[in-house]
Amino acid sequence: MSPAEARGNIENFTGVAQIPLGIAGPLYIDGEHARGEFLIPLATTEGSLVASYSRGMKVVNLAGGVRTTVSGDSMQRAPVFIFDSAREAREFVAWIGTRLEEIRAVSEATSHVARLAHIEPFLSNKFAFLRFNFTTGDAAGQNMVGKATYAAYQWILANNRTIRRAYLESNFATDKKPSHVNILHPRGKRVTAEATIPHDVLHHQLRVEPDQLAYHWGVANVGALLSGANNNGLHSANAITALFIATGQDVANVAEGAAATTFVEVTHDGALYFSITIPSLIVATHGGGTHLATQQECLRMLGCTGHGSVDRLAEIVAGTVLAGELSLAAAISSLEWVSAHEQLGRNR
Amino acid sequence: MSPAEARGNIENFTGVAQIPLGIAGPLYIDGEHARGEFLIPLATTEGSLVASYSRGMKVVNLAGGVRTTVSGDSMQRAPVFIFDSAREAREFVAWIGTRLEEIRAVSEATSHVARLAHIEPFLSNKFAFLRFNFTTGDAAGQNMVGKATYAAYQWILANNRTIRRAYLESNFATDKKPSHVNILHPRGKRVTAEATIPHDVLHHQLRVEPDQLAYHWGVANVGALLSGANNNGLHSANAITALFIATGQDVANVAEGAAATTFVEVTHDGALYFSITIPSLIVATHGGGTHLATQQECLRMLGCTGHGSVDRLAEIVAGTVLAGELSLAAAISSLEWVSAHEQLGRNR
Amino acid sequence: MSPAEARGNIENFTGVAQIPLGIAGPLYIDGEHARGEFLIPLATTEGSLVASYSRGMKVVNLAGGVRTTVSGDSMQRAPVFIFDSAREAREFVAWIGTRLEEIRAVSEATSHVARLAHIEPFLSNKFAFLRFNFTTGDAAGQNMVGKATYAAYQWILANNRTIRRAYLESNFATDKKPSHVNILHPRGKRVTAEATIPHDVLHHQLRVEPDQLAYHWGVANVGALLSGANNNGLHSANAITALFIATGQDVANVAEGAAATTFVEVTHDGALYFSITIPSLIVATHGGGTHLATQQECLRMLGCTGHGSVDRLAEIVAGTVLAGELSLAAAISSLEWVSAHEQLGRNR
Amino acid sequence: MSPAEARGNIENFTGVAQIPLGIAGPLYIDGEHARGEFLIPLATTEGSLVASYSRGMKVVNLAGGVRTTVSGDSMQRAPVFIFDSAREAREFVAWIGTRLEEIRAVSEATSHVARLAHIEPFLSNKFAFLRFNFTTGDAAGQNMVGKATYAAYQWILANNRTIRRAYLESNFATDKKPSHVNILHPRGKRVTAEATIPHDVLHHQLRVEPDQLAYHWGVANVGALLSGANNNGLHSANAITALFIATGQDVANVAEGAAATTFVEVTHDGALYFSITIPSLIVATHGGGTHLATQQECLRMLGCTGHGSVDRLAEIVAGTVLAGELSLAAAISSLEWVSAHEQLGRNR
């Protein structure tokens, strides 16, 4: 990498960190944006990770692939406005509702891409937090949304005399932090992956039964609720991190991205339905580190370059996460220990 | 990187992902393990990140450096044992208490390094979750702890007839997931960084006043509590991710590591006390990706190679995080908007 | 109480539980709905509770009273609809958006009072959770909203062929459970109380300084974030419970109501600004236990009977909570221990 | 109630609040402390609540009763000590470990009942939070633990010169607030109730199938995780509140008590295993409001008077909660809507 290539991505450039890249898959994806077989580049130093994901992908493929769906898309910045009292904060929110078109015009003037979807207000004490929600095309969009919101912030300050103090950000976005607001409301893409694995495929490939995985899922929910984990999945962070490094994403966004909700059930015909929703997956196919050489190569390999490719990447990440969840869940359940007493009682 | 070098770190090796590496700092660290000036290698594609951390470091240095303290060290695996009813689960936990030495012997026999510190039981429904806590030397230790706990798990299953089912893991460790148990009890190192910035340094370097930063900290606490963020910091994930990529860490551990608690106050003489505690920072100077060429180079640059160097790395990460929190907090507060009404009132 | 009087409130009526009732206050409230002096009936068996609240009220009165503001009003029921896959769930949400008027008509036909404000969808896995938000006049409204939502639920099931399963409720409302969704979005009233206590009033009445309370507030934020408390207040549950018992509320709603967010600062002229927001306070002046004899008497004493009185009750509860927070905060801070070293440094 | 009777429970006594009392049950409890049939007094104004609990109890009785188990007992106060830096805080915790016997002697000297079980330290920033854990006999114990901890606090301040500031409490206990620390570690009693309902009992009595309840439980876990509810149960607060009012408990403790974890499974022979653990149930049979006339009567009716009766009360509360969870879960599931498509697929 030349200093010129890295310009804009780093300061005090001195070289590169080299992370080994392995190829998992192929993975058959039945998405709306990603369709067909994909070889998945994973950059990691954790031995067995690529093998484990590949194992899951093989099973998913034998089951007809993973179905993926993007159901939300938003990027936020959330300034806080402080007033003399709660009453002025409440009136301010009402006032914002009457000036939306002006605010939209001001903020959208800062970018050819960012579009203001809506502003969600949250009132507490004498504060009004305004969560600006934008769409940002193929970019992750944190910077363009920061700029667009700053323009709105300036306009608001110039046009409202009741504000006493204000900050452009105050832990309500919440950038690079796991948070419940980002589990409820998407930051980045909200994307789901689903697969239905026939009993025999699961039995022969992973040596576990659908009801074993379903039982462990129930136990793992209790574990997650007690431990205060922000999700009931197993290790979504592994796939997300490895794909993020490989494809030039802002890897620190793993902090939000790792909140993945799983649901597992045994279907009427004895198969395993397995799904995972990542509520706030921040991905880009434009901007940031996506233009760098090895990163571009990985994106190209995934067909994720050019206009309108970002949802494809989101679907690929979700599908990969699902394959890894399935693989690890099966590994845990294949070590399941069941007493003779319990097994005899099982009467299958 | 040759396939031979990457062996053990990756499967289906096809090349490398190259992440630009910039040098921030130097940062003066007054730690117990890290002492002196450090140049900090950050691998990232986010423009301005290195510059922002360097800006914070300059201020920290002018204030005499950052003081760092490691106060906890532990790595976990948490099997779950399932019984006929809650009563047997409770008796099981009592029984475990009587067999600790045997369990310790069995688990420690699997490694020259892992030492069992204690087992913490959590009872719910008919489940006993046992959270095994080990120290693991300079390694992150997830694998060795997995192996050591598995030996204990097998021994327990062989020696207790009341268990009906068991799993080696069930969302109580909680690996690669943000969780409250890992905020309360360390997973990896618990490490704190602190700095006291004189008023004039802050004013001249960052164009903000200590009481501005303190005020924003208060507002940001309300933001964090309302948004359900798992921490009241700003962007610890940025430093942790960039240092983790540079030094061969398991980057997916950012999911836990990003839970950083800040505390800010104005001291008697008008300076800014700023501190951050990372409750669960998983770092290694041995094993995983630490032996790879560019990663070793970065570790060497930090003096973090060889026996007993892992706490030094933990301190360096914490110090770097603090510099970045300070820099971003100042950037937000320098955009603070204060009404004339409020400013005139200020007059202190 | 006669069996006839209790009819509709209880089954297998056998008598009454008698809870001692004490009068705290008066409290001067400067609300939009509650204005003037109020004697506050508290039903409790915890000795010193009434005295502590009265102590806080005295201080608040000397400071000109407590300012109260209602900023949100909503009651929910949240059915879940289950589909073949995430894609149908997403299409279903879009379809709901096109049929809102019919859904509104069907649900509002069940009540003269309940009005559908909006339906908020949350998508995960193959589920669509629809959070129905109603206003319910002076009633708490859980029952009428249950009925109105059930009508909508039936209509939806009759008109959409893609649903595979559905439940009227699935932990998304979330009735009688503390939850983050109810901190972000009001369930019941969102109400704030604020007071600004001059330095001398605080000093003479409670023997503490504004900056002592502000400092403790900062420490208590760190405590709340680490302990995973759902709020940074001290004991809002005490006032809410005692007022709820006295006035015939559904006391189990304390589970949600106790999530109270405080904010504290020292003002330019050295006074203490203290505020508390209760995000989800479920109160009623009509229905439930409000018509019973002692309960009606308490409501009458508060001027909270008749049409349109429920916001007054919400403001009274919030004002009372604030008085108690202030009183306990001062009690803790007056036990504050400060080393000579620290005190000398203080230089006041 | 005479003013004399209420003395110690209330100030400014003016009368009583009368809450209707209904009798649910009987409930057959197979506990270690509560054994046999119990009539359950519930004080509430919510119509149908007593009937719903009775319905659940009838089913539980037909299934052989509810099995109850107390597995934890502890009451806390958690002072915070503040130091020059994190390093002194860490040394302080080590020092506390060397002075435990003196601290125990000092704190236990304040009471004939309170016994110090252990002190758990939590370090963050420059703070050491010490969570004192006591057993308190038949009392809830908040006051005696406050007194005992205050004695220890004073002793510590007198014997350690490194402390700069300290507060007796700082949101780490966490009294009357839902918190994760109190889900992990018991505050009050940790108590579990379990029942196994044969298929035919469930089918005939509640018109639902075990697998319907199990399926809804899975969906409700996803709901709880997304909504950020602190538990996956349905309405434990209802039983706890009604029993607390009836038996003279500190009703504000519902805030902690409502965090109830359920686990549901279909057993090998097609029955429904249903269990609930309340991690932090604060109950008393001595002190507080327990001596008042109607309250004593209720406690006597439950056999919960006299030395050593508090665990019996804990078991009764847990058993009652379970009956109500079962009843409501069945009510929701009996409204379950299943498409013809899904039903045909079911092939039962």
Specify the DSSP class assigned to residue D291.
T
Strands B127-135 and B66-77: antiparallel
- Indicate the pLDDT class of residue C348, thresholds 50, 70 and 90: very low
Burial-class residue B104 by CB neighbours within 10 Å (0-12, 13-18, 19+): middle
Q: How far is B150 from chain C (nearest CA, A)?
A: 30
Name residue, tokens 């551990």: B253
CB C125 to CB A277 under 8 A? yes
Annotate A222-248 with b (16+ C-beta within 10 A) or e (fewer).
Answer: bbbbbbbbbbbbbbbbbbbbbbbbbbb
Give the C-alpha separation, D221 to A233, whole Å: 12
Average pLDDT, chain B: 95
- The partner residue sitting opposite B224, judged by closest CB among C225, C226, C231, is C225
Give the C-alpha separation, B163 to B151, whole Å: 16
CA distances from B69 to A140, B54, B238, C188, C241 (A): 36, 21, 21, 46, 43
Of B15, B63, B124, B130, residue with least CA distance to B322: B63
Each residue's pLDDT tens digit, A85-128 = 999 999 999 999 999 999 999 999 999 999 999 999 999 999 99
- The partner residue sitting opposite A180, judged by closest CB among C125, C126, C180, is C180
Nearest CA in chain A to B25: A12
Q: Say if CB B257 and CB B239 are below 8 A apart.
A: no
CB A163 to CB B240 under 8 A? no
Name residue, tokens 């117990």: B32
Nearest CA in chain C to A127: C263
DSSP letter string over B118-160? EEEEEEETTEEEEEEEEE-TTB--HHHHHHHHHHHHHHHHHH-
Give the C-alpha separation, B318 to B193, whole Å: 5
E strands present in chain C: 13-30, 35-43, 66-77, 80-82, 115-124, 127-135, 165-167, 188-197, 261-266, 272-281, 337-338
Q: Say if CB B230 and CB D228 are below 8 A apart.
A: no
Determine the pLDDT at residue A341.
65
Each residue's pLDDT tens digit, C171-224 = 999 999 999 999 999 999 999 999 999 999 999 999 999 999 999 999 999 999
Average pLDDT, chain C: 95
CA distances from A145 to A141, A175, C255, D113 (A): 6, 12, 37, 60
DSSP letter string over B70-114? EEEEEEEE--EEE-SSHHHHHHHHHHHHHSHHHHHHHHHTT-SS-
Identify the contact set of chain A against chain C, taking CB-CB distances under 8 A. Answer: 32, 67, 69, 71-72, 85-87, 89-90, 122-127, 180-181, 184, 190, 192, 194, 228, 261-263, 275-277, 279
CB B85 to CB D72 under 8 A? no
Residue C235, pLDDT > 60, answer yes
- Indicate the pLDDT class of residue C337, thresholds 50, 70 and 90: confident
Determine the pLDDT at residue A347.
36
Catalytic residues of D: 46, 250, 341
Q: Which residues contact A145 (CB under 8 A, 6 or more apart)?
A: A75, A76, A77, A114, A132, A134, A136
Share of chain C above pLDDT 70, in %: 98
Determine the pLDDT at residue B338.
81
Q: Say if CB C49 and CB C42 are below 8 A apart.
A: yes
Determine the pLDDT at residue A94.
98
**From the centroid of its chain, how far is CA B168?**
24
Q: What are the contacts of D199-206 at 24+ separation with CB within 8 A? A: D199/D269, D199/D270, D199/D271, D199/D272, D201/D59, D201/D62, D201/D63, D202/D59, D202/D271, D202/D272, D202/D330, D205/D55, D205/D58, D205/D59, D205/D62, D206/D55, D206/D59, D206/D326, D206/D327, D206/D330, D206/D334
Q: Say if CB B146 and CB B111 are below 8 A apart.
A: no
Chosen for mutation from C153, C185, C254 (greatest number of chain D CBs closer than 10 Å) is C254
Sign of the CA dihedral with B332 first, then B243, A17, and A294 last: negative
Q: Given the residues C250, C265, C291, C297, select the one marked as catalytic.
A: C250
Q: Which residues contact A68 (CB under 8 A, 6 or more apart)?
A: A29, A30, A31, A32, A33, A34, A191, A192, A193, A194, A315, A316, A318, A319
Identify the contact set of chain D against chain B, taking CB-CB distances under 8 A. Answer: 32, 67, 69, 71-72, 85-87, 89-90, 122-127, 180-181, 184, 190, 192, 194, 228, 261-263, 275-277, 279
CB A245 to CB B242 under 8 A? no
End-to-end CA distance of chain D: 60
Give the count of Cβ contacts less than 8 A between chain C and D. Answer: 380
- The partner residue sitting opposite C275, judged by closest CB among A32, A90, A125, is A125
Determine the pLDDT at residue A339.
78
D-chain residues near C259 (CB < 8 A): 178
Q: Say if CB C34 and CB C59 are below 8 A apart.
A: no
Q: Which residues contact D49 (CB under 8 A, 6 or more apart)?
A: C10, C11, D42, D238, D242
Nearest CA in chain A to C94: A71
Q: What is the mean pLDDT of each run of 10 residues along chain D (348 residues)?
A: 92 96 98 98 96 97 98 97 98 98 98 97 98 98 96 97 95 94 97 98 95 96 96 96 98 93 96 98 97 97 97 98 97 84 54
Give the C-alpha separation, A195 to A306, whole Å: 28
Angle, vertex CA B45, rays to CA B41 and CA B47, nearest 5: 95
CB A124 to CB C261 under 8 A? yes
CA distances from D254 to A228, C42, C247, D243 (A): 20, 17, 18, 11
Nearest CA in chain C to B221: C221
Give the C-alpha separation, A143 to A145, whole Å: 5
Identify the contact set of chain B against chain C, taking CB-CB distances under 8 A. Answer: 180, 183-184, 215, 217-219, 221-222, 224-228, 231-232, 261, 263-265, 267-269, 279, 345-348
Q: Which residue has the higher pLDDT, C347 or C258?
A: C258
Three-state DSSP class for A26?
Answer: strand
Q: How far is C239 from chain D (nearest CA, A)?
A: 8
Q: Which residues contact A73 (CB under 8 A, 6 or more apart)?
A: A135, A186, A188, A189, A190, A311
CB A163 to CB B337 under 8 A? yes
Annotate B7-43 with b (16+ C-beta within 10 A) or e (fewer).
Answer: ebbbbbbebbbbbbbbbbbebbbbbebbeeebebbbb
Name residue, tokens 């002492």: B35
Determine the pLDDT at residue B341.
65
Chosen for mutation from C170, C192, C236 (greatest number of chain A CBs closer than 10 Å) is C192
Q: What is the mean pLDDT of each run of 10 residues along chain B (348 residues)?
A: 92 96 98 98 96 97 98 97 98 98 98 97 98 98 96 97 95 94 97 98 96 96 96 96 98 94 96 98 97 97 97 98 97 84 54
End-to-end CA distance of chain B: 61
Q: Say if CB A68 and CB B31 are below 8 A apart.
A: no
- Indicate the pLDDT class of residue C55, thresholds 50, 70 and 90: very high
Q: Say if CB C165 and CB D339 are below 8 A apart.
A: yes
CB C124 to CB A279 under 8 A? yes
- Indicate the pLDDT class of residue C346, thresholds 50, 70 and 90: very low
Three-state DSSP class for A204?
Answer: helix
DSSP letter string over B265-294? EE-TTS-EEEEEEEEEE---SBSTTTTSHH
DSSP letter string over D202-246? HHHHHS--HHHHHHHHHHHHHHHHHHT-S-S-S-HHHHHHHHHHH
Catalytic residues of B: 46, 250, 341
Q: How far is B111 from chain D (nearest CA, A)?
A: 28
Q: Say if CB B60 and CB B147 are below 8 A apart.
A: no
Give the C-alpha separation, D138 to D142, whole Å: 12
Name residue, tokens 């706890």: D240
ω into residue C44 within 30 of 0, thus cis?
no
CB C19 to CB D245 under 8 A? yes
Q: Which residues contact B2 (CB under 8 A, 6 or more apart)?
A: none
- The partner residue sitting opposite C125, judged by closest CB among A125, A180, A192, is A192
Identify the contact set of chain B against chain D, taking CB-CB distances under 8 A. Answer: 32, 67, 69, 71-72, 85-87, 89-90, 93, 122-127, 180-181, 184, 190, 192, 194, 228, 261-263, 275-277, 279
- Indicate the pLDDT class of residue C334, thresholds 50, 70 and 90: confident
pLDDT < 70 regions, chain A:
341, 343-348
Of B223, C232, C183, B325, residue with least CA distance to A130: B223
Determine the pLDDT at residue A335.
82
CB A10 to CB B125 under 8 A? no
Identify the contact set of chain D against chain A, taking CB-CB distances under 8 A. Answer: 180, 183-184, 215, 217-219, 221-222, 224-228, 231-232, 261, 263-265, 267-269, 279, 342, 345-347
CB D17 to CB C229 under 8 A? no
Share of chain C above pLDDT 90, in %: 94
Chains touching A (3+ CB pairs < 8 Å):
B, C, D
Determine the pLDDT at residue C344.
56
Give the C-alpha separation, C323 to C68, whole Å: 12
For the record, the structure tokens of D139 come out as: 């009392």
Identify the contact set of chain C against chain B, taking CB-CB distances under 8 A. Answer: 180, 183-184, 215, 217-219, 221-222, 224-228, 231-232, 261, 263-265, 267-269, 279, 342, 345-347
- The partner residue sitting opposite A16, judged by closest CB among B20, B50, B180, is B20
- Count, residues in chain C: 348
- The partner residue sitting opposite D228, judged by closest CB among C9, C165, C181, is C181
C-chain residues near D259 (CB < 8 A): 178
A-chain residues near D218 (CB < 8 A): 217-218, 221, 263-265
Give the C-alpha separation, C108 to C133, whole Å: 12
Each residue's pLDDT tens digit, C102-139 = 999 999 999 999 999 999 999 999 999 999 999 999 99
Of B236, B238, B234, residue with least CA distance to B220: B234
CB A219 to CB B80 under 8 A? yes
Name residue, tokens 């960039």: B242
CA distances from B30 to A166, B236, B309, B320, C227 (A): 35, 20, 16, 12, 29
Give the C-alpha separation, B223 to B332, whole Å: 14
Determine the pLDDT at residue A312.
98
Of B338, B67, B55, residue with least CA distance to B206: B55
B-chain residues near C267 (CB < 8 A): 345
Three-state DSSP class for B207?
Answer: coil
